[in-house]
Structure 1
Amino acid sequence: MRITRVLSTALLALGLAAAPAAADSTPSPSASADVKVPVSAGTSFRTAAEIEQGQTATASGSTGDYMYWSFPADAKQRPTVKATLKLPQAHTGQTWQLDVYDGLRRRQACQYGAQTHTAAPGTNSLELACVLRTVRSWAEPWANDPLPGTYYVRLTAVGVKTADLGLPVSAELRVDSKNMGGAAAVDGSLSEPLVPGVSVTKAEDSKASLFSLEPEDGWDSGWWSSRWVWTGVGAILAALAGIGGYALTRGSGRPSRVPPGA
């Protein structure tokens, strides 16, 4: 009977832990309907068009131009950036490239995805994708790990022939994220996310942000993750195992042998 109660308690604890752990692995929520979707792209880092995750932004430009967007990414998210291009009738093949930079303008490597793609002459559309590494809440200063804050997307054609420069092109860009949960948690967090700012001359020394968008639930504090739940469950199970072992080994409470002459 005692063993049954021990197992029942352990299963209940595991069930309670499974809920927040499962929530950590769900995709990021869709963008708010109140945020206006940009219909043009910036021409530099400072003028990058802001988009939320879950939005599909559009832009028109010319072959040879740089197109810039920015989006917020928080700790434990693994962003996926996808771009779809509608190409003009070019004289030669065109090579397009999608680059992603963090708030410090460090180019971030893609885990997988067609980051660079060459379209043959006569191709009408082209798709590019970049799946970033999971954003960490903290990293060593010398590391190039992705950190919470603003991320930039730059889309451009590379090695364009002179005859194709200036041809019209249209693009669609979308960013989605998967929440990697406690498996991606680390000990430590940034004091502030890496959101670029500009100094403002006032009576007080202050700083205004160049970009206003942030995650729907605010920036992650960095200390909570499902790892805390599993650590607590482990401690509970260890205590229950100790109680169960004691119950199994203590017997009926009477001596197993009666001393002679008793």
Structure 2
Amino acid sequence: MGLALALAFRGLEDQLMRTTRVWGRAALLAATALLALPQAAAADGDGGGEADGAPSEAGTSFRTATAIRPDQDASAEASTGDYLYWAFPVDAGQRATVHATVKLPEAAARHAASTWQVDVYDGLRRRQACRLGTPRRTAAQDAGAVSLSCTLRTVKAWSEQWANDPLPGTYYMRLTVTGLKADDLGLPVRAEVKVTTTDAGGAQAVDGALAEPLVPGAGSDRQTPAAATEPEDGWASGWWSSRWLWTAGGGVLAALAGVGGYALTRGSGRPARVPQGL
């Protein structure tokens, strides 16, 4: 009887293990299919156009600047000597870097070297200095392309009126040639630009915030596409920084230190015995 029960339980156990393996494979296949669906949908969406609708033109002034977003590739066909403008948003606590590459005409069509320059202006059209990068470069007559870059200072949430600190809002990138022989004016070029941003962290945070970001034309009938440039998740307004985490962590550590110090210094917790007769 005991042997029969043991064999029956053994058979039931084997059946349960086989069922578990089958259900496990089914669950794995279902999970794989679910994970593949978004990727397939993304692939279908990306296949419909090149570079996901990246801007393929540039403005010729501040008012007609083409709006682009950070990490978005943009390009423009132009003539040598044109002023090309793009606009992009930079929020408080961010450090932006603009990248520009100019594909030059064939060397046989050029007569001399050319000097190219990229400038960055804030929402008040104040030229901003570059902390890093090469915003100005000379290309030899036989060069096929020239690359420029400019890393701005960290954008502050608030600043004194007399200061030239970069503030959150719309920024403008201007690309042009500054040194060129007259015979080379009007030759076709292709410009490729991109803006990248990094978070500078709480060490660069300041107390205070602007009432509104510096977005020229906002709220007026003359609003341009550049004025509508805004981060996808909205403006931070400078209220958040990693200093909040450090402050909260410091408070917790101070509380733990106080509890530990009390536990070490309170003694046994019983009052000292007073000698009799005193």
TM-score (norm 1): 0.80
Residue correspondence of structure 1 range 1-262 to structure 2 within 5 A:
36-88=53-105, 89=107, 90-197=110-217, 200=220, 209-210=223-224, 211-254=227-270, 259=275
Q: Which 4+ runs in 1 deviate beyond 6 A? A: none
Once residues 177 and 219 of structure 1 are traced to their aligned partners in structure 2, the CA distance between those partners, rounded to angstroms, is 14
Distance apart, 1:208 and its partner CA:
5.4
Matched residue of 1:209: which SS?
A: coil
Once residues 130 and 157 of structure 2 are traced to their aligned partners in structure 1, the CA distance between those partners, rounded to angstroms, is 19
Distance apart, 1:53 and its partner CA:
0.9
| Larger-Rg structure | 2
Once residues 277 and 241 of structure 2 are traced to their aligned partners in structure 1, the CA distance between those partners, rounded to angstroms, is 64
Distance apart, 1:94 and its partner CA:
0.8
- After superposition, the CA RMSD in angstroms is 2.1
Distance apart, 1:181 and its partner CA:
2.7
Gaps of 5+ in 1: 1-32, 201-206
Question: Does the 8 Å CA contact 1:42/1:67 hold for their aligned counterparts?
Answer: yes
Distance apart, 1:36 and its partner CA:
3.8
Once residues 218 and 95 of structure 1 are traced to their aligned partners in structure 2, the CA distance between those partners, rounded to angstroms, is 38
**TM-aligned CA distance change 1:43 to 1:58, over 3 Å:** same
Distance apart, 1:61 and its partner CA:
1.1
Distance apart, 1:221 and its partner CA:
2.6
Once residues 84 and 125 of structure 2 are traced to their aligned partners in structure 1, the CA distance between those partners, rounded to angstroms, is 15
Once residues 251 and 199 of structure 1 are traced to their aligned partners in structure 2, the CA distance between those partners, rounded to angstroms, is 68
**TM-aligned CA distance change 1:257 to 1:95, over 3 Å:** farther
TM-score (norm 2): 0.75
- Deviations along 1:64-89, whole A, 9 cap, x unmatched? 11111111111111111100111122
Matched residue of 1:127: which SS?
A: strand
Matched residue of 2:236: which SS?
A: coil
Identity of aligned residues (%): 62
Question: Does the 8 Å CA contact 1:49/1:70 hold for their aligned counterparts?
Answer: yes
**TM-aligned CA distance change 1:251 to 1:125, over 3 Å:** same
Once residues 177 and 276 of structure 2 are traced to their aligned partners in structure 1, the CA distance between those partners, rounded to angstroms, is 98
**TM-aligned CA distance change 1:121 to 1:187, over 3 Å:** same
Structure with bigger strand share is: 1
Aligned to 1:9: none
Once residues 130 and 76 of structure 2 are traced to their aligned partners in structure 1, the CA distance between those partners, rounded to angstroms, is 23
Distance apart, 1:44 and its partner CA:
0.7
Once residues 158 and 222 of structure 2 are traced to their aligned partners in structure 1, the CA distance between those partners, rounded to angstroms, is 23
Aligned residues: 224
Once residues 225 and 45 of structure 1 are traced to their aligned partners in structure 2, the CA distance between those partners, rounded to angstroms, is 31
Larger RCO: 1 or 2 (CA < 8 Å, sep 6+) = 1
Question: Does the 8 Å CA contact 1:195/1:209 hold for their aligned counterparts?
Answer: no
